[in-house]
Structure 1
Amino acid sequence: MRMTSKKQQSQECFQMRTTDHRTREGLIEQFYEVIAELYRKTSDDSRSEVSHERARIMNKG
């Protein structure tokens, strides 16, 4: 009897964690995946242009 309630508690806890994961961490993870995909899709030329531009701005500061 006691084992069942323990098991039920852990299941509820797990469900809460997974729901939270879907809402916050899951969305953040999705966001990073999309960014990574976009980054991969950009050409190497534009990527190096951006890094040169960033370096130029950083050196100014």
Structure 2
Amino acid sequence: MNRNKVICKCRKLTKGDVADAVEQGAVSFRQVKKATRAGDACGHCKKKIKKLIRKLTEDHNQAAEKRR
């Protein structure tokens, strides 16, 4: 994943910003929005952010399963 790629143009938030919010415990769009203000303006990024959250949480869960 390119952490520097902008995912929310209105707020100039990157995939890395969303990933950081997820790493800090945000597991829903609402929680990521609260942490980053993503999707707060026009909302065009909402689907992309939701998809990224799903991917990041799935990757995290798979990594945790492998450690068991």
- The structure with more radius of gyration: 1
Structure number with the bigger relative contact order (C-alpha 8 A, sep ≥ 6) is 2
Q: Same fold (TM over 0.5)?
A: no
TM-score of the aligned structures, taking structure 1 as reference length: 0.37
TM-score of the aligned structures, taking structure 2 as reference length: 0.34
